[in-house]
Structure 1
Amino acid sequence: ELFRACNDDPACAVDYPNLEGRLLQLVDDLNENPAIIEVIDPETKETVDVYLDGHALLDFFFQTFYLPDMYATFPKIISDLEEGNYFFVAQILPLFAFDQTFSEGMYLSVICAEDGDFSPADLDTTALLPPVAAYAPEDLQSYLDSCALWPVEILPPSVDDAVSSDIPTLLLSGQFDPITPPYFAEKAAESLPNATHVIDPLGSHGVAFNGDCINGIVQDFLDDPYSEPDAGCLQTVDAAATIPPSAVTFPLLGPLSTLETPLLWQTGLATLFLLGALSAFAVWFVVFLLNAVRNKHREWTQAEKRLRWGGRLLALAFGGLAVLFVAGVMTAVIQALFYNTAYLSVYSLPGAVRPFLFIPYLLLLLAVGIVVAAALNWRQEGFSIWSKLYYTFLAVCAVGYVVVLMAQGLI
């Protein structure tokens, strides 16, 4: 379905040609040269190295297909992985790998009782992707091996009998559901003569109560179960635009999405450092006005003039570029929030933000220059102690701001 969705979308088809072939090649490449990815346990904050081969990648994708809007983000994820960018995997994988809310025992009790008597040899794999078909017998056998150890009785074959009823039934499916696709509901409807099957063309797993449109359909059905609910709104819901290859991975969106405490501290410190750096605009303007009012002028040597004005230009340039950086990034984040939240799902921002991401490196160079200028200021006897202390304060703010950017992975 994901490949079909991309092929049917003119923009996606152009940006991501032969998506299926590229995924298969990626699986082969990772099987030959597995990647080692560093992930963080969200509970313990422990860093763990994860082995990712092609088989593990397919398992990972299966889990991510439960997420909304994967039809819009899947092509970009493939493109990033081809380039060796595993940031999305590193952010999402811990949610599955370290999930403490999933009851493995209950899962095995249900699976083994209902389906513990199947034979992997009976599986028809002709419709599966080649690597999925290759792994299927082994994966299914692992279920049987687990069931052999799990103390539950296998239920009689009648448990697989279709439910037959003339009670009005509403069946809801998501077109991109990886585990209960629409044809499951179609099969169930064969023995439910008064069933109504509604497919959300953009939905994944569990579309019930997922938005005003679906909620309205459910309410219509409950109000009058014997009449077909109006599902026309599903055709008017705009699909999220496919994330283009030009989108830029923005690491800060990872901790930002969970409002992690270190990020909050870093953001607070960065704000204070930036305000301190920007104080130069106000302080030097006020000093200029006071000197003008008092008609106070001092003769500077050429060396003092160069150091004085050069140092000020460095500090003012730092403050101006820092504001430009923040404004550019915030504009990109707001654009993603209001126009296509799928960007944020893959921790990316629109490609227009790319020039702004070079600014932190310029700030690093300017900070070095400001520190050098501050050191030279202390060697000048003609400069007042207050001007030396204030410029040192600006140097501390510049260095502090750059250090925070480094801690956030922006440099």
Structure 2
Amino acid sequence: CSSDLTDPEEGAALAMAILEKLLQLRATTVATTHYSELKTFAYSREGIENACVEFDVKTLRPTYRLLIGMPGASNAFAISRRLGLSESLILRAQQLVKADHAQFEHVINELENEKMMYEQRNADILERQQRVTELEAKVARTKEELAKKKGDFIRKAREQSAAMVRRTRRESEAIIKELKEQFDDQGIKRRQQAIQDARAKLNEAFEKSRPGIMAQKGVGKAVSLKTIQPGDIVYVKKLDQKGTVLSVQGKELTVQIGSLHTKVKASACRFLDHAPKETKAAGAPAASSSRRQSNAFMQKTQTIGREIDIRGMMVDEAEVAVGKFLDDAVMAGLSQVLIIHGKGTGALRKGIHAYLKHHRNVQSFQFADITEGGTGATVVELK
């Protein structure tokens, strides 16, 4: 787009007209020029893009890097200076260049410098993004490894806990069996307390190691209200304990777990086994009277409940019932019991509190926690 036979301005105008026509025809065109007017023309026309091949002024050699969007700057003065042309001639030539042309060349040089700077920054950003991606992948792998180690640790801890519970249960049951064999009228309270302590330690270890063996799904079978009877063995799901059925009231069962009694719905239990049948070996001597009395007393102390309900009784009737209940609780080795007297007018509560103040086996008493009845029940600490 240049010619030695035309005026530069006319040549530039003619070149711009040709490029416009080619653009209308949607023809792909590559045009090389030294006209500054064409460089400005490319900036102002949609569909035309400036480009140049980078030139290293210091070495006077092309770098062969194609820069899209950047017009090439004229390096005539810089090249002349490097080739040894007189400085005075170069300065005079710069004075003769039109002001707008000089300003255009200056702007092009500034743009080229800025583009190189931004290319360097983009390269730095890309490198940092790659490092961030690598770090994120490393963090994800570390989290996965930690989750796996955590799962292995929890599984191992549960296995060890279950083994400890089984060992503790065997030891406790052995102690209880030995105590029962030695049970007689002498030292009843001391032995019964030892039994209570052993069972308490067993239950405490069992609760700490949940989920236990009995908490597994599918234990036993559904309780049938037609066939269930006192003495049968059931599993209470809510308490995660085995117990013995004492009585059946409609859809509820009274179950003995250790030395405590509790009422639960039949649907909340699982049937484990029928009541064991007592057998008597042929020719075996009858149990002595003292042994029968001891066994009966032991059974009584084992089945005593932790609470008594005296609602609806007169004060004198309640005193008799509470007195008998406290004596049985002491003999069973209980340290704390619950008396349910209700709220009502408060006469029954006052009468029972007055009775408890002078009872020989009562150490202290107070209203129950809100979960056990609040002011409608009294917790009694026994000596």
Q: Shared fold by TM > 0.5?
A: no
Query: Which structure: larger Rg?
Result: 2
Structure with greater proportional helix content: 1
TM-score band, normalised by the shorter chain?
A: under 0.3
Q: Given the two structures, how large is their TM-score scaled by the length of structure 2?
A: 0.17
Structure with greater proportional strand content: 2
Q: Which has the higher contact order (CA 8 A, sep 6+)?
A: 1
Q: Given the two structures, how large is their TM-score scaled by the length of structure 1?
A: 0.17
